[in-house]
Chains A and B, each alone.
Chain A
Amino acid sequence: MGVAIAVQELRKNYGALCAVDGISFQVDEGEIFGMVGPNGAGKTTTIECVEGLRRPDGGEVRVLGLDPQRDGRALRRIIGVQLQECALPDRLRVGEALALFASFYENPLPPRTLLEELGLADKVRTPFAQLSGGQKQRLFIALALVGNPRIVFLDELTTGLDPQARRAMWGLVQQVRERGKTVFLTTHYMEEAERLCDRVLIIDHGRILALDTPENLIRSLGAESRVVLTCQGATDQVLEALRAQAGVTRVERSGEQVIVYGRGEGLVATVVNTLNAAGRPFRDLRTEQPNLEDVFLTLTGREMRD
C-alpha cells in the first residue's frame, strides 16, 4: 500500500503562538486516518497545510507526491475537501451547488447518484440557507466527493450534529473508504476517532502525543476495566473477598455503589461469582472499558475540553 500523505517536521506559527510544533507522520492509501485533540490543538492548521490552503513556516508536506504549495491546483484536482468554516450562497440550491462543483473537475461523479447516497435527493431544490446543520454537512461531504478524489479531507465533520446524525455520518465515511479512497479527518470527539479510524494521531499544543491504532493506544495504557454495580450488602468483608481475587486491582465503595477495577478477560465473571458465593444480591451491573478518552487523560493528565 502506497503512502498518501507524508508530513515531515511541519511547523506553523501565528505571531508568537506556535500552532504546530514540528510534527511528522504518514498516512497510507486506503486508510481512515484521524487526528484528535482538543480545540486549538493544531488540527485544522495541520490539515489546511496538507490541503495547501495554508503556507507552513517549516517542514515538508507531500500529498500523493505533490507539494501542496507549489502544485496547489494540480493537487486540488485529486483531493476533496470539507472545510470546518465555510458556506455557500444562501439562495444556492442543493442541486445547483453540486452541478457547479462538479463542473470544476475533469471526471466528476454524477451529482444525482451522490445526492441519493447522501440522502439529499429530496432537497435538490432547497436553498442552502434552509438546510439543517446535518443536511449542510452532508452537502459539504457531497461537494468533497463530487470530483471523484483520491483523498478526502474532513475537518470537524460532526461538530454541532446531534448523536443520531453523527452516527449516520460515520456510516458515510466508512462508505467512502470502501470505495478505495483515503480519508483524513480531524475530530475532537474521542469516541468518533475510536469508532471510525484505522489509526489515530493524538495532538495537543501542536505536538504529537501518540500515533497508533485505537486498540493499541488503549492496550498500551494497560488501563483497567471497571465493573460498576449496586449492592446493599457490600460489607467490608465482601470487599476484602473481591480484592483477594486474581485480576482485581482495586475496589471502591461509595454508598451502595461498588466499583471493581481490574485487568483481564474474566473480570465480570470473577465479580459475579464472588458476590454469589457470599450470598450478596446486587443489581445495575455494568462494565466500563478503557477508551481513547482515558488515553488522553493519561497522556495529558487532564480531560479533553469540549
Chain B
Amino acid sequence: MRGLPQLILTQAKLYLREPIATFFTIFYAPLTLILFGSIYGNEPTPMFGNRGTIDIGVPAYIALIIVTVGLIGLPITVAAEREKGILRRYRATPLHPLAYLLSEVVTYFAMTLLGVFLLILVGRLGWNLRFEGNVLSVLGGFVLATLSTFAFGFLVASLSPTARLAQTVGMVLAFPMMFISGATIPWEILPGGVQRVAEFVPLTHAVRLLRKLWAGGSWGEVWVSAVVLAGVLVVCTALSARFFRWE
C-alpha cells in the first residue's frame, strides 16, 4: 500500500479546493439547521416523542450529509477522474488499485465527518441539542450508513461511462430519497403513502437507524434497518468490484 498516505493527503487537499463541493458537504446541512432552528426552535413536541425539531433534525441531517457526499460528490469525482484519464495515469504506476479506492473512501469519510461535527456544534451552541444515545453506538451506525452509501455511489460511478451521466444518475437517485426518507422533512409529517414507498429506500433506513440510536434506542429496535444497510454495502461493493473500469 505504498503511496496511500500521500494519496489520501492529496485527495483531501483537492477536495477542499473545490468550493462548491466543500460548501455542500461541510456547510449546507449546518445552514439548513440554522434555517429550521430559527423557524421552529427546539421546543419538545409530542409528535416527535417530546423532542424538539433540532433534536430529531440533527441525526436526519447527518444522513443528508452522507447521501450528498456519497451519492453525488463521490460518483462525479470518480467518474470524472476516469473520464479525464487520471485513473489511467495512476494505473501506469505501481500504485495498488485498492490504495486508490481506499484513498477515496477515507477522504470522503473524513469530509463527511467534518460536516457532521460542524452540524452537531451548531445544534449544540444554537439550540442546546439533546443527545440521549451512546456515542460508540451512534458512531457505529454512522460508519455503517456512510460505507453503505459510499458503496452505492461507487456502483453508480462504475456503471456510468461519463462523469455527466454519473452526476445525473446520482442526483436522480439522491434528491427523491432526501425528501421521502425523512432526511429533510421529518418522517412523522410525511403522508402514509409516501412512508410506505420510503420503506424501500435505503436512505430511510439510514435516517431511522441514526435517529433511533441518537435518541438512546438499541440496535435490537432497528435491526431491520441495519440489515438493509449492510446488505446494500455488500451487494454494491461486489457489483462495483465486478464492473469498475479504470478507463
Contact = CB atoms under 8 A, between A and B. Distances in A.
B44 interface: no
Interface residues of B, number: 22
B7 A103 contact: yes
Contacts, number: 63
A229 interface: no
A146 to B, nearest CB: 9
A91 B17 contact: yes
B10 A96 contact: yes
Interface string B14-46: 100110000000000000000000000000000
A92 interface: yes
Interface string B71-92: 0000000000100111011011
B2 A83 contact: no
A104 B94 contact: yes
B10 A92 contact: yes
Given A83-B92, A96-B13, A89 B81 contact: yes
Contact of A104 (B2, B14, B17, B18): B2
Contacts of A81: 92-93
A42 interface: no
Contact of B86 (A53, A76, A86, A104): A86
A76 B2 CA distance: 13
Contact of A73 (B7, B18, B81, B96): B96
Contacts of A100: 3, 6-7, 10
A88 B89 contact: yes
B139 interface: no
Contacts of B93: 76, 81, 101, 104-105, 147
A185 to B, nearest CB: 15
B185 interface: no
B95 A87 contact: no
A96 B6 CA distance: 9
A6 interface: no
Interface of B: 2-3, 5-7, 10, 13-14, 17-18, 81, 84-86, 88-89, 91-96
Given A81-B93, A100-B3, A100-B6, 18 more contacts: A51-B92, A83-B92, A86-B84, A87-B84, A87-B89, A89-B14, A91-B14, A91-B17, A91-B18, A92-B14, A96-B13, A103-B3, A103-B5, A103-B7, A105-B2, A105-B93, A143-B89, A147-B94
13 contacts: A53-B92, A83-B88, A86-B84, A86-B89, A88-B86, A89-B14, A89-B81, A91-B17, A96-B10, A96-B13, A100-B6, A103-B5, A104-B2
